[in-house]
Structure 1
Amino acid sequence: MTLTIYHAKFARSVRVIWACEELGLPYEVEEVSLHHGRKAPEGDPNIHPLQKVPALKDGDVEMFESLGILDYIFARYKDELRPKPESDEYPAYCQWYHFGEATLAPYVTMALGHRALLPEKMRIEAMAGWGEREAKKCFALMAKPLETQDYLLPSGFSAADISCGYMLLLAKFAKIFDGAPEPVTAYFKRITERPAWKKATSL
């Protein structure tokens, strides 16, 4: 087993490193620069076909979608971050696991793009505002289970928290996390105290 994770600081590759740290799986990090559609310089190691991250190389296997990579790792190597399909928690797990990327991410990245990432002349404040408003609806939805439990599932930490927790980091970068419900801000603080999170976000 040789897991090589192609990584840029604070990118979605954080999810993959975080999961490996939580599981105690060995991995190597290949640091890459993001070129955002421009041709990568000669010698760039990134295997992602769009020159983004994450990407994973495991022997002959190459992958580039963060949650897909997590599912692959769980299926092939260690499956301790999600409930079993027969568990009563499995439907909630599936819902929150995909919520992070399918529902929350578009709104957060809309605000982030139009508040920070795009050149100023290309930013549209109406788009940023829309992203912020919709993201805050998502925060309110996340707050409901977190009012009575530490993580998104009653049994404790899972890959659903890796999926959603990472997006809260981007929400902070987008400056739309202020005013999030107290259960959600406490949840994010709880996540950022985990050693695996600290390792993944330090690289």
Structure 2
Amino acid sequence: MLTVHHLNQSRSQRVIWALEELSLPYQIVHYQREKNMLAPAALRKVHPLGKSPVIEDNGLILAESGAILEYLQETYDAEFQLKPRDPAHKVQYRFWLHYAEGSLMPLLLMKLVFASLGKPPIPFGLRALGKVLGQGVQKAWLNRQLETHARYIESYLSENSWFAGEHFSMADIQMSFPVFALLARGGVENLPHIHAWKKRVEMRPGWQRTLEQGGPFDIPGEG
């Protein structure tokens, strides 16, 4: 049986979702974030990087969301439920599967870091300077980058119901974490097609079962 090493409020939610969509049997080993929001040291016993998600399958230990989703599709999705068959949509599928972590998530992580420079654990005497620095970088560069990416995604979803065309796929599962984070923290207004996609996600029975198995998933906004 597949085992998912699942950290609460993390990318591993996507792996549980993929397993639910494929109706595969699996078990979850749950981990809770530390007070500093980092993964617990126990995950290093599973994989040297100490990160989640990690899966175990017949002796294989595999990390990285995209690699895991591709492995599950190639190994267990013989009917192509979660991957398009036609060449044009395959290209889009591959693009969004890699874009999620390669292009969008680094910007969102930078947003989180720069927005935190005026808060603990930054030393008290440096918080005012950190806040000014963080706000300056966001205003001068980062917010513009996020705006560009958000408009790009919005434009694509204005013409496609899902990230690989008109059929739900692993690309949607992979894009879920950064898109949810973009809506919560990106600071970009007027994204009706992205919000509509999010509603379609939340209506899927597989997503609802994922919340039952993996726990609630809510990326808080800046505060």
TM-score greater than 0.5 by the shorter chain: yes
- Distance (Å, rounded) in 2 between the aligned partners of 1:131 and 1:164: 20
Gaps of 5+ in 2: 123-129, 216-223
Query: Identity percentage over the alignment?
Result: 28
Match of 1:109 in 2: 109
Shift of 1:153: 2.5
- 143-152 or 60-69, which deviates more: 143-152
Match of 2:26 in 1: 27
Shift of 1:161: 1.0
| Counterpart residue type for residue 6 of structure 1 | H
Match of 2:17 in 1: 18
Q: What SS does structure 1 have at the residue aligned with 2:178? A: helix
Gaps of 5+ in 1: none
- Distance (Å, rounded) in 1 between the aligned partners of 2:138 and 2:26: 37
- Distance (Å, rounded) in 2 between the aligned partners of 1:179 and 1:119: 28
Paired residues, what number?
198
Match of 2:5 in 1: 6
Q: What SS does structure 2 have at the residue aligned with 1:29? A: strand
Closer, same or farther: CA 179–23 of 1 in aligned 2, 3 Å: same
Q: What SS does structure 2 have at the residue aligned with 1:119? A: coil
- Distance (Å, rounded) in 2 between the aligned partners of 1:6 and 1:191: 23
| Counterpart residue type for residue 115 of structure 2 | R
Structure whose CA Rg is larger: 2
2:203 paired with 1:193: yes
After superposition, residues 1-203 of structure 1 pair within 5 angstroms as 2-34=1-33, 40=41, 47-78=46-77, 79-84=80-85, 87-115=87-115, 119=120, 121=122, 124-129=134-139, 130-173=141-184, 175-202=185-212, 203=215
- Distance (Å, rounded) in 1 between the aligned partners of 2:71 and 2:91: 19
Contact 1:108 1:131 in 2 (8 A): no
Shift of 1:40: 2.1
Match of 2:126 in 1: none
Closer, same or farther: CA 37–8 of 1 in aligned 2, 3 Å: closer
Closer, same or farther: CA 11–37 of 1 in aligned 2, 3 Å: closer
| Counterpart residue type for residue 181 of structure 1 | L
Shift of 1:111: 1.0
Shift of 1:168: 1.6
- Distance (Å, rounded) in 2 between the aligned partners of 1:21 and 1:87: 26
Closer, same or farther: CA 131–14 of 1 in aligned 2, 3 Å: farther
Closer, same or farther: CA 5–38 of 1 in aligned 2, 3 Å: closer
| Counterpart residue type for residue 89 of structure 1 | H
Q: Deviations over 1:111-170 (max 9, x none)?
A: 123335973626623344443332221111112221133212223211111111221222
Q: What SS does structure 1 have at the residue aligned with 2:87? A: coil
Contact 1:34 1:51 in 2 (8 A): no
State TM-score, norm by structure 1: 0.84
Closer, same or farther: CA 155–110 of 1 in aligned 2, 3 Å: same
